[in-house]
Amino acid sequence: MRIEGRGIIDRSTPVGFRFDGHDYVGFAGDTLASALLANGVRLVGRSFKYHRPRGILTAGSEEPNALVEVIEGNSHTPNVRATMQELYPGLAARSQNRFPSLDFDLLAVNDLAAPLLGAGFYYKTFMWPRRFWEGLYEPLIRRAAGLGSLDRQHDGGEYEQAFAFCDLLVIGAGPAGLMAALEAARGGADVILADESAQPGGRLLSETLTVDGRAGGEWAASVLAELQALPNVRIMARTTVTGAYDHGTYAALERVSLHLPPRPNLPRECFWRIVARRAILAAGALERPIAFENNDRPGIMLASAVRTYLNRYGVAPGKRVTVFCNNEDARRTARDLIAAGVTVAAIINSRAHASAVEDCPVYTGATVIDSRGRKGLRQITIRHGGGEAVIETDCLAVSGGWNPQVHLTCHMNGRPLWNQSLAAFVPQPDAVPGLAAAGAAAGIMSTAACLASGQRAAREALEALGRKAPGITLPVAEDAPYAIEPLWQVPHKFRAWLDFANDVTVKDVKLAAQENYSSVEHMKRYTTQGMAPDQGKNSNVAALAVLADSTGRGIAETGTTTFRPPFTPVSIAAMGAGGRGAGFAPQRFLTSHQASVERGAPMIEAGLWYRPSYFPRPGETTWQQSCDREVQMVRNHVGVADVSTLGKIDLQGKDAGRFLDFVYTNTFSTLPVGRVRYGLMLREDGLVLDDGTTARLGEHHYLMTTTTAAAGLVMRHLDFVHQAFCADWDLRFISVTESWSQFAVAGPKARALLASVLDDGPDLPFMGCGPVTVQGVQGRLFRISFSGEEGYELAVPARHGEALFRDLLARAETMGGGPYGMEALNVLRIEKGFITHAEIHGRTTAFDIGMEKMVSAKKDCIGKAASQRPGLNGPEREQLVGLKSLSDGALTAGAHLFVPGDKVERAQDQGYVTSVCHSATLGCSIGLAFLKDGRARHGQTIRVVDHLRGVDLLAEVCDPVFHDKEGVKLRA
Amino acid sequence: MPKLIAKSPLSDIWPVTHGALSLSELVLDRVVSVAPFPGQAGAMAKALKPLGLAFPEPNRMHINGEMRIVWTGRDQAFLFNAALDTPAAALTDQSAGWACLRLEGEGAAEALMRLYPIDLRAAAFPHGHAIRAPLNHMNSILMRLEDAFEIMVFRSMARTAWAEIEHAMLHLAARAQM
């Protein structure tokens, strides 16, 4: 029901929206909750476990009941708090956790079975048979209990991440936050003021109080206007600070456009990381309910929420309202309602000596003991000094006092302190370095005291920042005392709810205590109290008060559970903004990419690189056909492959050779200028790190090549060795991987192809290198081979890479050659017995791969001593061998090796296969493998078993080099 | 004989403008990494003097007309558009290995602070500052000019960098129209 003349909604802008298939009209400035209440909708959801009809309890982000699904086109977002969802034209929402409808929910039968379904019911009941838990019980329970349904499509919405920096972060823009921001801003500090609501102002917008003689909302607006005009202030509305982390870093979630119909490129939410030198927590306090019989009916709300709906949204949540409280503060609810012309049936104050001046019946020393009205409150029963009475009422405003929002102050392991006079926990000072609480968040309750507290906190922050306080005179405001007598629960017979979101009652907590789950953390796990999306904001303190009472301890002694980020739910989509699909990692493209794609090559990811898998020709229907052809092409004519992904490191300085001797197992200081040498690198633990070739370009100038996979790793390793062991050497190195496009040209006609592209063709010996000119471009030529054929690698500055690749292909094709992809490259190297990181995978030694003689005896190197440890060399090691399938069956990488006749079990394992291919050259399936004492077992037959892919066949153990063992072709 | 055509990393992408921000490729002509050998600071200074430049302190750059020298790491700087020949430092050509993106317009710092975990507001990161920092997941060199930011990333990652910066621009432009 709307109340004329109240609220800050825009009554000139009606907004149509839809809830559960019915069309309604609200106003701009409404939340879904306020608009539903204005339209007389009280039943908005079903409870988690008992499927009890539920209404709106709060007016903020702590709402436990009014969770809805917001529908956007074909997708939807579950568990949206109706109290936070702002109205926009065309907003469509539906209730959740009900079937077939909100009004008639079949699973409400759970409510009848409630006596059976208390805390611990599942643990005690669904125990046997054991395997039924995963297959039957859990799915059933999950279906019955729950929140909204997940949309099974990808979230197509836009999300954003951003970073912000400031001198002072003020969290919350109520009286304390506004005052703090104003003080700090006028003092010249760089301020971010973050407020959860669409309109900053906090309780000033929800109450009828005055500041400096003006309405609170007006004062807030004037302060905001001043702050907005200042260049050193950033006001972030709709932004919830959700976590406090090390070094003054705070996480915050901004609801950028959830209040608007979707628009292209407009982020829904933005996940902020704010780095602040100081921070003030002015997040206020949350009112808490009181547990009494049937206290969960639609129409039973928090008193502060009733005032928010009345004063901010111009909505009376009922026609005949009753107030039930244990403190003085809540009485203003009755006063506001009466002033707005709403009937107040009674005030029921549990305090015996409460004053009673309101123009309505006031019962002191009284409590509510029951309520009626299944889908909407109809009446309550009260107990007072004179006995019991029934009051007809459609809205009960409850206040059990206030809990300061201590959450953020506990994110770095701090625990809040119990304050007896407030009957609440307050923040422990300095629990988060640099963060100070002010206002109601610090347990300071009157408006005047909040303003003063905000100013004080800002002054302390300014001092810490080395700035002067501007000297603002505090505005005048109410300073009424907050008198409270704790009342957690009213004695009852059946059920009184503590945690509405997870359907946890007083009885459940008592049962936990009775079953000796007496620690508050155990009670939480046993009852699930505090585990719902509201994270117990409405119930934690009352629940632990009940637990304290049941265990005979005090509340301070019982303590709270651990507060962890986030303060309110944060969508994973916002935290991972930008990381969907291609945004997951950078994509690295070769200069030849476009040319390869034009030839129809499927691109495969190799690390971050995209490399051509094979180059299909017309008539080829499988990759194997293309691959076989490419292998034959290289073996018989000439092939061209882009190998620019290999890491290239340029090393210079008088100590460059000495450094290479140190990081490689073999010697490079003796390498002549113009020559290339294969090198093996060990980790400190003596296992193989990487391999590659290094060329000596000049007296003090080397070029190292690493594998593609380990390019970054090797660079880091070199940096570590340089900085840690030989920082003073005359040595500098830098990656030039990206600077050069490098193409392998391999095959019997490689030399002829090169002669046609090079302006000057040096006649290089095997493992020679030298500068060349390629059509006027300065390049480098290396005679190295990864294919077993006569091979070269030709490098030009990357800007010429694409042109050279296209030119090489065109020329190669006139010679019966062409491009070859990763598949053929892999076959060529397996046939030749060359290793990759499939073999040097981090657990193999130089001995294992048959290169122990490369560990020079004449010098020390990284990993040398460790490589000689017992157990790293000898017949007990699995050693690199070749395998030839003895049947038509194909070997598989990852298969394990067994002696034929042995039992196929772990204890008999002889080794494993690392790389396999169909050898077009040999016409059978071959592979590389590690086999126990393998080098002594050439010629034996071994059983290859791969349970995952159903492979079980026999293979012949052989030398890992299948093709051109003597290297005649290489050196041709 | 045909000359090999040279292509800049983003040569097939047109400059874009979204809202107040414009993104374009700056074609790098000549970039050399300069890494002075131990004990060569004096010789280094002498070699740079004729260019009107000095070896930059960490997170800074020096500019003289078209020439620029930018700190890029420990004992390392990138020299732009200048010829240098000195035994005091290891000199390595980097011209073709990097892509350079130029972002200009009101709010450029805001856009980049979607991707860089760094305070890029003018007061904290003014003209003359340069930093080696991650652009989202990418290694980059970020330079603040008087009127723009220039961002260098590995050549192979240029498209990702472009896409990510443009994405941030689109978000900001859409926010501005709210």
Residues A127 and A101 in one domain: no
Instruction: Give domain status of residue B10, yes or no.
Output: no
Average pLDDT over residues A480-484: 90
pLDDT digits (tens, 9 = 90+) for A147-167: 888 888 888 899 999 999 999
- Residues A797, A912, single domain; the answer is no
Q: What is the side-by-side order of every strand in the sheet holding A367-372?
A: A367-372, A379-384, A387-392
Query: What pLDDT band is residue A74 in, cutting at 50, 70 and 90?
Result: confident
CB contact under 8 A, A800 and B121: no
In a domain, residue B24? The reply is yes
Cβ-count burial of A906 within 10 angstroms (0-12 exposed, 13-18 middle, 19+ buried)?
Answer: exposed
Q: Write the CB contacts of A789 (distance below 8 Å, at least 6 apart in sequence).
A: A634, A635, A746, A747, A748, A750, A828, A969, A970
Whether residue B153 sits in one domain with residue B125: yes
Asked if residue B102 and residue B66 are part of one domain, the reply reads: no
| Separation between Cα atoms, residue A134 and residue A486, nearest integer Å | 44
**A688 and A753 both lie in a single domain:** no
Whether residue A612 has a cis bond before it, omega within 30° of 0: no
Q: A130 and A104, same structural domain?
A: no
Same domain, A276 and A193: yes
Strand partners, A276: A166
Last residue of one domain, picked from the residues A712, A737, A762: A737
Structure tokens, B142: 């970020």
Of B93, B121, B136, the position where a domain reaches its end is: B93
Same domain for B88 and B109, yes or no, is no
* Mean pLDDT on A785-799: 96
pLDDT digits (tens, 9 = 90+) for A848-899: 999 999 999 999 999 999 999 999 999 999 999 999 999 999 999 999 999 9
B50 touches chain A (CB under 8 A): no
- Taking CB atoms and an 8 Å cutoff, what residues of chain B touch A606? none
d(CA A720, CA B154): 22
Q: Look at residue A816 and give its three-state secondary structure.
A: coil
Distance from CA of A234 to the nearest CA of B (A): 13
Residue A335 domain-assigned (yes or no)? no
Answer whether residue A943 is part of any domain: yes
Quick one: CA dihedral A781, A784, A787, A791, positive or negative? positive
Q: Is the pLDDT of residue A398 over 90?
A: yes
In a domain, B9, yes or no: no
CATH number of the domain where residue A786 is located = 3.30.1360.120
Does residue A859 form part of some domain? no
- Cβ atoms of A650 and A733 closer than 8 Å: yes
Q: Do B161 and B136 sit in the same domain of this protein?
A: yes
Phi-psi region of A430 (alpha: psi -120 to 50; beta: other; left: phi over 0): left
Tell me whether residue B11 is in a domain: no
Q: Is residue A324 part of a domain?
A: no
Q: Which of B93, B160, B175 sits opposite A256 (nearest CB)?
A: B175
A515 pLDDT above the threshold of 80: yes
Mean pLDDT of A461-473: 96
8 Å CB contact between A479 and A447:
yes
- Say whether both B24 and B35 belong to one domain: no
Confidence of residue A904 (pLDDT cuts 50, 70, 90): very high
List, as ranges, residues 583-602 from A with C-beta within 8 Å of B.
583, 585-591
Q: Which domain holds residue A910?
A: 875-972
- Same structural domain for residues B20 and B62? no
Q: What is the pLDDT of residue B111?
A: 98
Mean per-residue pLDDT for A445-465?
A: 98
Does residue B7 sit within a domain?
no
In this prediction, residue A414 has a pLDDT band, given cuts at 50, 70 and 90, of: very high
Average pLDDT over residues A88-113: 89
Q: What is the mean pLDDT of chain A?
A: 95
CATH number of the domain within which A942 lies: 2.40.30.110
Is B3 within a domain? no
Q: In terms of residue numbers, what domain contains B40?
A: 31-93
Give domain status of residue A256, yes or no.
Answer: yes
Q: What angle do CA A400, A401, A405 make, to 5 degrees?
A: 125
DSSP E strand stretches across A176-223: 191-194, 210-211, 214-215
pLDDT tier for residue B96 given thresholds of 50, 70 and 90 = very high
Per-residue model confidence (pLDDT) at position A125: 80
Whether residues A766 and A808 fall in one domain = yes
Characterize the bridge pairing of strands A10-19 and A91-95.
parallel
Judge whether A799 is closer than 8 Å to chain B, CB to CB: yes
* Domain's final residue, options A715, A737, A759: A737
- Does B164 share its domain with B77? no
Q: Which pLDDT tens digit goes with each residue over A907-946? A: 999 999 999 999 988 999 999 999 999 999 999 999 999 9
Which of residues 134 through 173 in chain B touch A, CB cutoff 8 A?
136-138, 154-157, 159-161, 163-164, 167-168, 170-171, 173
On whether the CB atoms of residues A443 and A286 are closer than 8 A, the answer is no
Task: Indicate whether A382 belongs to any domain.
Answer: no
A760 & A701 share domain: no
CATH number of the domain residue A410 falls in? 3.50.50.60
Q: Are residues B85 and B101 in the same domain?
A: no
Residue B53: which pLDDT band, with cuts at 50, 70 and 90?
Answer: very high
pLDDT for the residue A111: 87
Within a domain: residue B148?
yes
Mean pLDDT of A424-451: 97
Task: Report CA-CA distances (Å) from A748 to A390, A755, A788, A819.
Answer: 103, 13, 10, 15
Q: What is the pLDDT of residue B144?
A: 98
B102 shares a domain with B60: no
H helices of chain B, in order, are 41-48, 108-112, 158-176
Stretch A810-837: mean pLDDT: 97
Identify whether residues B38 and B108 lie together within a single domain.
no
pLDDT surpassing 60 at residue A675? yes
Give the DSSP H or E segment for A336: helix A331-339
CATH assignment of the domain containing B102: 3.30.1360.120
CA distance B76 to chain A (A): 9
Percent share of chain A, pLDDT over 70: 100
In this prediction, residue A140 carries a pLDDT of 80
Residues 726-785 of A with CB under 8 A from B: 728-734, 736-740, 759, 774-777
- Say whether both B103 and B82 belong to one domain: no
Residue A408 lies in a domain: yes
Are B21 and B105 found together in one domain? Answer: yes
Do residues A280 and A163 both lie within one domain? yes
Contact B157 A732 (CB under 8 A): no
- Identify the pLDDT of residue A137: 83
pLDDT tens profile B129-151? 999 999 999 999 999 999 999 99
The answer to whether residues A747 and A617 belong to one domain is: yes
Q: Is residue A76 part of a domain?
A: yes
- Indicate the residue among A685, A716, A737 that finishes a domain: A737
> What is the total count of domains within chain B?
2
Task: Tell me which residue in B90, B155, B164 faces A653 most closely, judged by beta carbons.
Answer: B90
Encode burial over A697-719: b for 16+ CB neighbours within 10 A, e otherwise: beebbbbbbbbbbbbebbbebbe
B64-75 residue pLDDT tens: 999 999 999 999
For residues A607-623, give the mean pLDDT: 97
**pTM of the model as a whole:** 0.95
Res. A822: pLDDT tops 90? yes
Per-residue model confidence as pLDDT tens digits over A272-320: 999 999 999 999 999 999 999 999 999 999 999 999 999 999 999 999 9
Residue A165 and residue B124: Cβ atoms within 8 Å? yes
* Position A588 confidence tier, pLDDT thresholds 50, 70, 90: very high
**B31-45 confidence digits (pLDDT tens):** 999 999 999 999 999
Total structural domains in chain A? 7
CATH code of A23's domain: 3.10.20.440
Task: Give the residue from B93, B115, B147 where a domain finishes.
Answer: B93
Predicted pLDDT at A683: 97
Confidence of residue A228 (pLDDT cuts 50, 70, 90): very high
Residues A274 and A421 in one domain: yes
